[in-house]
Structures are given as structure tokens and as C-alpha cells.
Amino acid sequence: MTSTISRISWEPSSQARELAKRYGYQPYMVERYLRMLGVEETIELLEAFESPERIPPAIRCNNKLVRCDELIGRLRALGYRLEPIEWASYSYRVASPINEQHSPTLGSTHEYLKGYYYLYRDQSPLVPPSILEISRDSVILDSCAAPGGKSIYMALEAREGFVVSNDISRSRLKALVSHLMRMAIDNVIVVNYDARKLDKWLGNTLFARIMVDVPCSAEGYIMFDPSRKRKTDLDTLKKIAYREIDILAGSLRLLDSGGYAVYSTCSIAPEENEAVVSEILDIFGEGLRIIEPRINMWDRGIPTIDKIEFNPDVEKCIRIWPHKHLMGGFFACLMEMV
């Protein structure tokens, strides 16, 4: 079924084993980093994962409820320093409060409770909806939507359209519904279904825009959850990749001709990224193509890692590295149904 993924194997070198022991990783993970980045950059990456304080949070202003300049002024009065994110609409990087002892956290300000903004742990989740090219009247499917950050961003962009926000986890959907109510967003339809079977459930319904941010190993978020250093062995990672292929394929069968979809993960593992995209291109053949996003200021996908070769078009995808871009590790790929 997934020939590229099944063939992937990493025999850890002595250097990989030494670094894995020093930083507490599974050796195969470090071996990958060495092959993708080299020794010096691998150490920079491992050190970045040890420093979560270097990764600033981000917010998306709810311009439906508040003028964004007013929100910025109110947060600055609380001691926060905000910088516009040039590639994401109405979005801002947030530095720590000037006086943390006397400032509310970003998730407990009056402005947050009134629904004036959505809070992201870092900027990387803003990348997929920013490259999807959403218009005011877009009708969008978010296949794996909870807890809702991407759905909310897209709903605010498509003010005259709507978002179908699906997730297999009913408990996780509670967070999405809570955010929608807090922010008074009314152009989202919430559904609870297995994304792998959405095409069978929705039948002939087609979408012009689809977001497929799949459940993944979260290997790019080790700085926020150090247990990810050892949690996933290679066999388990391959099973996760197979599930991601099924979710992406089921979603793409609902993409209209000429429509765009984004596949994304908060992972830096090639098994979940370049390998999954390569397999999907094999499944859909000439009916699907990878296109270069208009916004791309980050690294590109990696078509070859030593003797492992992926589809060369993965080079059009986006790779975000914590040590280079001060975000969580992330991957995003823009696709068009021909």
C-alpha cells in the first residue's frame, strides 16, 4: 500500500546514539536529523527543542467583534508587546508582558474572555490557512478541526461563506464549540465523523477549499511536550503515516476540480510529510498536483534524504524548523485538484 513508507529505515550511527543519549531521544530520530541537517544544525535543532521560551505565542484578532487597533492598544496597556505577522491576516506575535507579575495571562484577559482574539501557542498553525487562498465567500471543509484555531481563522476570512468543521473526537469538539461561542462566530457547521470516511458520508458534496491538518506524532512540538522525544518508535510512526494517507485521500475525494487543499502536520518527520505527499500523488496520479504557495518564506520540502527519494514536487511544500524560524516544527503542502 505505502511502498515508500514501508521501505524507510534509519540505522543510527554512533554519533546519533551519542546525541540521542545526551538529549533523551530515540536514536532513529536523531539519525534522521543528521541526514537532513548535518551535525551542527542538528545540535541547533536539539537545543531549540530545549528552549520553549524562545517561541512566542500568537493571536488572531476577531475583527468581527473589535477593531484590531483597539485590541492592540488594550493589550499593550496590559504590558504585552505585539508585532504584526506580515503573512497572516489580523494576526500578531506576542512578546511576554513587561511586568509578568502584574499582568493577566493571554488566556485570561477580559479581551480574551470577550472573544476579541484566538490564542495560538505559536505562529505555525497560522501557516496552513494563510496559504489556502480563502476568499470572502469560500465554502471550506476542515477535516480534522478540533480544537479550532484553523477553523476560526478561516471562518473570519470567509465572512460571507462558511466552514464545515469536522473532527472524529467529540470531546475535542467541545473546545471548538466553546471558542465559536466565545468569539460569536456563526458561519461554522460542526460535525463529528471519521475523516477517513467523509467522502462516503457527504456523497456528491464538493468543496473549493479543504484544510487537512491531520492528527500526527507532534514531533515538531517537542519543546512543548518533551515526552515526544521517546514516545513514538518507527513502526508506530509508520502506522500514523498510513492513517494520515487515509485521512488525506478521503478528504481530497471531496475537493472540486480547480479547488485547493492544504495538507499539514506539526511534525518534522519525513515519514509523515514528504512520504505521505508522495504516496498521495501516486494514488491520484495526474488528477492532483502540488503548487507553490504565494506565501513561502520558510524552508522547502526535502525530495531526497540520502538514498530515500520522494516525489520531486515535494520541494514545493513548506518546512518550518524551530531553530531557524522561531516556531514549532511544521509542514504544509498546497495541492490543486486538476
Dmax over CA atoms of the chain, in Å, equals 58
Catalytic residue numbers?
A: 266
- Provide the angle, in degrees to the nearest 10, between the axes of the packed helices 14-23 and 27-37: 120
Q: Identify which of 120, 116, 29 has the alpha carbon closest to the alpha carbon of residue 71.
A: 116
Do 300 and 273 contact (CB within 8 A), yes or no? no
> For residue 241, with 0-12 CB atoms within 10 Å meaning exposed, 13-18 middle and 19 or more buried, which class applies?
buried
Q: Which residues of 77-96 are buried (b: 16+ CB within 10 A; e: fewer)?
A: ebebebeebebbbbbbbbee
The stretches of 191-331 forming alpha helices (DSSP H) are 198-202, 234-252, 274-284, 322-325
Separation CA 287–CA 102 (nearest Å): 56
Separation CA 14–CA 27 (nearest Å): 9
Chain CA centroid to CA 71, Å: 26
